[in-house]
Amino acid sequence: MNFFKRAWLNLTAKKGRSVLLVLVTSAIMLFVLAGLLIRNAADTATTNAKNSVGATVTLSANREAAFKKMRSSTSTSKSSKPKLTTSPVKLSDATKIAKLSNVASYNATVSTSANATGFSAISTSSSTDTGMKGMGGSTSSGSGDIAITGVTTTSSVSTFESSSSKITKGRGITASDEGTNNVVIESELAKEDSLSVGDTIKLKGTTGDKKTYTMKIVGVYKASSSASTQQGPGSTDVSNSVYTSYTFANTVKGSKYKNTADSVTFEISDPAKVSAVKTSGNKLISTSKYSLTTDDSSYQTVKSSMDNVKSFADKIVWLVAIAGTIILALIVILMIRERRYEIGVLLSLGESRWKIVAQFFMEMVMVLIVSVVLAGFGGKFVGNKLGDQLVSQQTTTATTSTTSTSQGQPGGTGGGGAPSGNTGGSKPSGNMPSGRGQGQIGSTSTNATAKTDLDINVTVMDLVELGGFGLAIMFLSIMLASGGILRLQPKKVLID
Amino acid sequence: MLKVNDLGYWYDRQENSLFEHVNLEFKSGNSYAIVGQSGSGKTTFLSLLAGLDKPRAGQIEMNGEPINKIGLTNYRKSKVAIVFQSYNLLTYMSPLDNLMTAMAITKSEHRGDKEFAIKMLRQLGLTDDQMKKNVQRLSGGQQQRVAIARTMVCDAKLVVADEPTGNLDEENTKYVIEQFQKIAHEQKKCVIIVTHEPDVAAACDHSYRLEKHQFVEET
């Protein structure tokens, strides 16, 4: 083990060269570590996305079947006007699906509208009431100036989940609001009519018995500025959208809608099980009336984005490792040429060649240990900078791609024609009033963006992994350079 | 102890051999000088005796065993100690570390014995301060003493030296010659010195001149 001591003596005697070696090796290790950290963080982000972004399965009326039925009835009786009839979802069916494994929770959504009584709805000049009425599947809903979205809980609504809508005062709608007339109104409406939490407002139904309901304001929410620019058919301003319990929305629509919903969205705990839940769910419902649609786009967006980051990080690791091996091998070759005399002396003393190679390797390992520690300090900083840049690029790509897809397909993201208007976003829980088609374009990528921040931390395992890479790099470098040692003849060095 | 049988060496062609059909015997407890003109091949001859190169013809036997059978690395490790004109010390070490390293590599019976190494260095006139300094900070004479001390701490019975006094002044030359004589006569080792200095050759027990490709003993 004399070569250990020789390695140590050499490094300590030639401090300048040792410092340079440490600096070069640290730079290589720093980039390898940054790559490893980004790769690991991307892995973690994907796992976290799997847990937090999740995926959904939506139970709604089978519009395709309804259209087929409508067309077949049209062909048989040409005199009558074609009529599209869809069935509201029975909550009893939803309960059955909710009991399936991997279903974390569910959110029933009922959309309707009513007229403001005793207070003023926000009126907009661009508001029109033409075309695509009934979009969203609420064929029975009328066209009041206040859009009612009945939900099980507002926290499961995609706009609230993505923070594009926020409760600013009071609270949101929860399961405990079932059977109550509690309402959450938009902040602009509250401001316009000087309404606050605890106040009551009156809404008059536009369908059914057209009864007037007294509502208690339990919360005020702030819709995003972009949401207020919606130009959905038949829409009023987004400030006229209120959230209630789905039971109240059903009451407004009429008694025949009791214990039904326009759609029910099930949150799946493991996005990988979405297809399995859909298959199991289809066995529990009448597929001629209802359909189950899946949406794991948020997860897929995050996954795809993180896969790209991971792939790039892998490339960084391998490129730096290969470049590092070449650079270090060249340095070691130069070092060996410079130390031919020393090698000759050792050979003349009878030292074996492999022990001389081992001495050089030990020197590099000692340099590596210091470099790994230095890289450990700087790795987080470089990893964060590099990771932020990568995520930013990937998110931009993902957003662009999602947006262009949505724009390319009219109503593709929560747009017109979608059953219950609820296929948009990652949580299609009917977050827009019926027929209003609040597109929520890009909401998927918004969710993805929020979930893809890389949490880069240097752990002991990262340093161990880096050490492993470093050892491999050092070993390869020494092996590439040791040809000179193995061929060296002591006579040529010491005598010739 | 060391027997040279029909030894021959040439670089490119046999017709241009440095020496051929050399038969010599070197005994323990004796010192030998190899003299000759520059370029005559005496250093090459020494490198063959030291196991630094292989002969083109013939063989060298150490106590009856051909050195190529012992293996040149093993031979250098355990049978021979070499002193060079340019000292050939490990420059990043102190004299003491040089000796400790040589003892470890050659697996000397004294390996790890720091006191023994210090004793040898003191014996060769190095102070405690000098033996802890980097060897490059020592004078040429002091470095050559370290090189000689290195041969003394190893167990090798054969010591070969190539122009060991080439870089030394008169006083140091005299001192080094004395030390080689002590190694031969007191430690009963075989010392072979290649030199071009008549005083060094005269101090040795035997002297061979390499002339016209043959070794001729001088009386």
Examine residue B95 and state whether it is found in any structural domain, yes or no. yes
Q: What is the rounded average pLDDT of the residues B178-186?
A: 91
Amino acid at A294: T
Supply the pLDDT for residue B119.
Answer: 92
Report the candidate in A348, A351, A379, A440 with the shortest Cα–Cα distance to residue A164.
A440
Examine residue B18 and state whether it is found in any structural domain, yes or no. no
Of the pLDDT bands very low, low, confident and very high (cuts 50, 70, 90), residue B63 is: very high
First to last CA, chain B: 22
Examine residue B56 and state whether it is found in any structural domain, yes or no. no
Q: A379 and A33 in contact (C-beta within 8 Å)?
A: yes
The CATH number of the domain holding residue B80 is: 3.40.50.300
Phi, then psi, of A216 in degrees rounded to 5: -105, 125
Determine the Cα–Cα distance for residues A34 and A456; give it in Å rounded to an integer. Answer: 9
CB contacts under 8 A, B 155-194 vs A, are 162
Supply the pLDDT for residue A12.
Answer: 93
* Sites in chain A below the pLDDT cut of 50: 127-141, 228-234, 402-451
Examine residue B53 and state whether it is found in any structural domain, yes or no. no
Per-residue b or e along A307-345, where b marks 16 or more CB atoms closer than 10 Å to that residue's CB: ebbbebbeebbeebbeebbebbbebbbebbeebbebbbb
Asked if B52's CB is within 8 angstroms of A342's CB, the reply is no
Per-residue b or e along B50-89, where b marks 16 or more CB atoms closer than 10 Å to that residue's CB: bbbbebebbbbbbeeeebeebebbebbbbbbbbbbbbbbb
Q: A289 and A65 in contact (C-beta within 8 Å)?
A: yes
B92 in A contact zone (CB under 8 Å):
yes
Please say if the pLDDT value at position B124 is more than 60: yes
Interface probe with B: pick from A4, A348, A493, most Cβ of B within 10 Å: A348
Supply the pLDDT for residue B29.
Answer: 94
Q: What's the total number of domains in chain B?
A: 1
A63 in B contact zone (CB under 8 Å):
no
Asked if B134's CB is within 8 angstroms of A13's CB, the reply is yes
- ipTM of the predicted structure? 0.90
- CA of A359, closest CA in chain B: separation in Å? 13
Q: Give the residue numbers spanning the domain of B111.
A: 29-40+73-218
Q: Express the helix, strand and coil content of chain A in percent, nearest 5 each.
A: 55, 15, 30
Searching chain A, which residue's CA lies closest to the CA of residue B101?
A2
Q: A290 and A87 in contact (C-beta within 8 Å)?
A: yes
Q: A56 and A102 in contact (C-beta within 8 Å)?
A: no
Nearest residue, CB atoms, B162 vs list A345, A349, A495: A495
Asked if A10's CB is within 8 angstroms of B52's CB, the reply is no
Examine residue B132 and state whether it is found in any structural domain, yes or no. yes
A349 in B contact zone (CB under 8 Å):
yes
pLDDT digits (tens, 9 = 90+) for A113-136: 899 888 888 876 654 443 333 333
Output B17 or B34, whichever has higher pLDDT.
Answer: B34
Helix (H, G, I), strand (E, B) or coil at B189: coil
Q: B185 and B117 in contact (C-beta within 8 Å)?
A: no
Asked if A491's CB is within 8 angstroms of B47's CB, the reply is yes
Asked if A495's CB is within 8 angstroms of B90's CB, the reply is no
Determine the Cα–Cα distance for residues A56 and A105; give it in Å rounded to an integer. Answer: 10
Searching chain A, which residue's CA lies closest to the CA of residue B80?
A349
Examine residue B24 and state whether it is found in any structural domain, yes or no. no
Q: B105 and A2 in contact (C-beta within 8 Å)?
A: yes
CA A3 to the chain's CA centroid: 53
DSSP code for A81: P
Supply the pLDDT for residue A254.
Answer: 83
CA A489 to the chain's CA centroid: 63
**Ramachandran assignment for B143, one of left (phi > 0), alpha (psi -120 to 50 degrees), beta (any other):** alpha
Q: A269 and A104 in contact (C-beta within 8 Å)?
A: yes
Interface probe with B: pick from A5, A339, A342, A349, most Cβ of B within 10 Å: A349
Asked if A2's CB is within 8 angstroms of B88's CB, the reply is no
- CA of A376, closest CA in chain B: separation in Å? 31
A495 in B contact zone (CB under 8 Å):
yes
Apex B73 CA angle, B67 and B77, nearest 5: 95
B137 in A contact zone (CB under 8 Å):
no
Examine residue B61 and state whether it is found in any structural domain, yes or no. no
Q: Which residues of A touch B47 (CB under 8 A)?
A: 491, 495
What would the two tokens of residue A495 be? 């005598």
Instruction: Kindly give the residue spans of alpha helices, DSSP state H, lying in A178-242.
Output: 187-192
pLDDT digits (tens, 9 = 90+) for B66-121: 999 999 999 999 999 999 888 889 999 999 999 999 999 998 898 899 999 999 99
Q: Which residues of A touch B84 (CB under 8 A)?
A: 494-495
Helix (H) or strand (E) holding A126: none
Q: Which residues of A touch B82 (CB under 8 A)?
A: 348
Strands (DSSP E) found in A225-316: 241-245, 260-261, 263-268, 290-295
Beta bridge partners of B162: B194
Mean pLDDT of chain A: 77
Q: Which residues of B touch A352 (CB under 8 A)?
A: 73
Supply the pLDDT for residue B71.
Answer: 92
Mean pLDDT of chain B: 91
Q: A153 and A172 in contact (C-beta within 8 Å)?
A: yes
A460 in B contact zone (CB under 8 Å):
no
- DSSP code per residue over A404-417: HHHHHSTTTTT-TT
